[in-house]
């Protein structure tokens, strides 16, 4: 039976500015609510624009000293942070589940990933390379350096509230930048956890600052302020668009990791048992609230009925309940608002005459918490919003396709272009997927997890720039070219004929 989690004491957390844990300059606070129990478990300050400015000033003041440290020394702090995260794994996973709702086993994996981000980017300490190039002239050298940008505003979403923080702070730190972090207002506690360990690792004050508050206020200030050199944000496409407009104030550099609508293609020659397991994980992991979730399934006509009946049977068997319990596969959605969005997609399907063949409503048990049944919708049209808009919940539309080329065309028919999945053992299909699916990630015969050395990047409305990998790291630097004349008699007569 579902056991509701009631927190005995409400935590009152603070913001971290210039090495001090402080309240906001206003009186307001934000309640953090456990999505399984619907009870308030913590408060954080609702920061103001003034607080944001203070945090930016603190980062600006600390950044030059941080950048002067040899990268290996910066890396030492980062490996210490990673070690502390691993030591605090259980506590951090518990906090994550209590504010976000994903099952505890998923939270543990996420916390591991947070540690791994610090370790991976620390490895670049001896590989922050520039170029030394031959000059067109004798006794001259041309050098290209990769310098820190300065102050990085890192804005994170609620669906991976720990890993997204690490994915932004770690590359910023190794490249010599200082950070102002603004986590999602729904899940700020995991960010507080990480920043407490940053402090414990001894990172100099001001290098990492944490500010809590609303995106439209504090977030807007961070994006439009002239002290911000780079905004790195993960979140919805709508917010990304606003941030891009705001950052144009100072022609700010941007990394935007935005929404997705991953197609999941299963072809007749695929290993069906494996494809089924992957299809379940790809849609219902984190209750469907993952940017690389399978958001629409394209099934080969000849296997569709059989595949779908197994898929429905497996989805029905998922155990929904207390995310803290080891037996739980599917927790609640993060908020009532997000559940409402998914429910509206189900209502739309019914209005459009599609068939809800599994789920479609709230479960009787657990009766408390923002739960939604795993929902499978058949007979959906490609033009429907169910196929074109991001659902971001445990609801999957299914479409039937007659040829693999057509499946690729339908997959590409989307304003989003983040992740995509293909299950086939036919070499020709595999290579078509590699070259013709226009998405930033294509998984062939597998479903995640992303690896740190891979570039996480979205085509079209799914983003700008990349995260992870050496390519993501480079976006935290800016290029500088130096032309050095080292001859005894400097001067280029042909440039200065009058001298
Ligand atoms: P969201 O509503 O866009 O919020 C993301 C972050 O942006 C939050 O910290 C939010 O602050 C802040 N924000 C909102 N409006 C802002 C503005 N005008 N200026 C500055 N900051 C602003 O997204 P979410 O609901 O938290 O996350 C779910 C979305 O993230 C989905 O679309 C998902 O696909 C996407 N996502 C993408 C990736 C990827 O790598 N591509 C990974 C994970 C998630 P408040 O919380 O205070 O509003």
Longest dimension (CA), the chain: 91
Burial (0-12, 13-18, 19+ Cβ within 10 Å), 281? middle
What integer pLDDT is reported at residue 138 of this predicted model? 86
N-term to C-term CA, the chain: 91
Nearby residues of 482 by Cβ (< 8 Å), 6 or more positions away: 142, 143, 144, 145
- Mark whether 400 is an active-site residue: no
Q: Whose CA is nearest to atom 40 of ligand 1?
A: 257
| Sign, CA torsion 144/145/150/154 | positive
Q: Whose CA is nearest to atom 47 of ligand 1?
A: 214
Span from the CA of 293 to the centroid of ligand 1 (angstroms): 16
Pocket test for ligand 1, best of 158, 187, 190, 236 (most atoms within 8 A of CB): 236
Tell me the average confidence (pLDDT) per consecutive run of 10 residues in the chain, 499 residues long: 51 97 96 98 98 98 98 98 98 98 98 98 97 91 97 98 98 98 98 98 98 98 98 98 95 96 98 98 98 98 98 98 97 98 98 98 96 98 98 98 98 98 98 98 94 97 97 98 88 56
What integer pLDDT is reported at residue 448 of this predicted model? 83
What integer pLDDT is reported at residue 488 of this predicted model? 84
- How many H helices and E strands in the chain? 15, 23
Q: Which helix (H) or strand (E) is 178 found in, with range?
A: strand 178-182
């Amino acid at each position: 039976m579902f056991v509701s989690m009631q927190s005995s004491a409400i935590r009152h957390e603070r913001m971290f500015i210039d090495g001090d844990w402080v309240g906001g300059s206003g009186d307001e606070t934000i309640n953090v609510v456990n999505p399984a129990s619907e009870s308030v478990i913590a408060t954080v300050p609702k920061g103001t624009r003034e607080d944001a400015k203070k945090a930016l000033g603190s980062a600006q003041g600390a950044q030059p000293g941080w950048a002067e440290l040899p990268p290996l020394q910066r890396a030492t702090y980062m490996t210490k942070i990673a070690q502390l995260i691993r030591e605090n794994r259980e506590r951090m996973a518990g906090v994550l589940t209590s504010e976000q709702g994903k099952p505890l086993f998923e939270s543990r994996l996420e916390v591991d990933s947070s540690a791994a981000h610090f370790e991976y980017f620390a490895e670049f300490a001896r590989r922050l390379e520039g170029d030394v190039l031959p000059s067109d002239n004798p006794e001259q050298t041309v050098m290209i350096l990769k310098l820190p940008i300065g102050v990085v505003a890192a804005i994170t979403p609620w669906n991976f509230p720990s890993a997204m923080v690490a994915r932004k702070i770690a590359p910023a730190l190794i490249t010599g930048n200082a950070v102002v972090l603004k986590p999602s207002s729904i899940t700020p506690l995991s960010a507080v956890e990480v920043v407490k360990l940053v402090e414990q690792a001894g990172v100099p004050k001001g290098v990492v600052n944490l500010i809590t508050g609303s995106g439209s206020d504090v977030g807007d200030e961070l994006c439009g302020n002239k002290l911000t050199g780079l905004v790195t944000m993960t979140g919805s496409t709508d917010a990304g668009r606003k941030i891009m407009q705001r950052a144009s104030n100072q022609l700010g550099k941007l990394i935007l990791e935005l929404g997705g609508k991953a197609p999941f293609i299963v072809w007749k020659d695929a290993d069906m048992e494996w494809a089924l397991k992957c299809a379940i994980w790809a849609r219902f992991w984190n209750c469907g609230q993952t940017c690389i979730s399978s958001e629409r399934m394209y099934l080969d006509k000849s296997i569709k009925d059989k595949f779908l009946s197994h898929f429905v049977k497996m989805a029905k068997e998922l155990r929904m309940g207390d995310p803290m319990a080891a037996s739980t596969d599917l927790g609640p959605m993060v908020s009532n608002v997000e559940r409402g969005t998914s429910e509206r997609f189900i209502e739309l399907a019914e209005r459009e005459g599609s068939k809800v063949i599994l789920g479609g409503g709230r479960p009787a048990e657990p009766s408390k918490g923002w739960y939604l049944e795993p929902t499978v919708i058949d007979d959906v049209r490609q033009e429907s919003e169910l196929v074109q808009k991001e659902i971001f919940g445990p609801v999957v539309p299914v479409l039937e396709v007659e040829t693999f080329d057509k499946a690729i065309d339908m997959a590409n028919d989307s304003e989003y272009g983040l992740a995509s999945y293909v299950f086939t053992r036919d070499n020709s299909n595999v290579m078509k997927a590699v070259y013709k699916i226009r998405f930033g990630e294509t998984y062939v015969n597998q479903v995640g997890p992303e690896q740190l050395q891979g570039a996480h990047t979205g085509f079209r409305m799914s983003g700008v720039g990349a995260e992870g990998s050496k390519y993501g790291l480079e976006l935290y630097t800016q290029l500088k070219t130096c032309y050095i004349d080292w001859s005894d008699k400097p001067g280029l007569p042909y440039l200065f004929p009058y001298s």
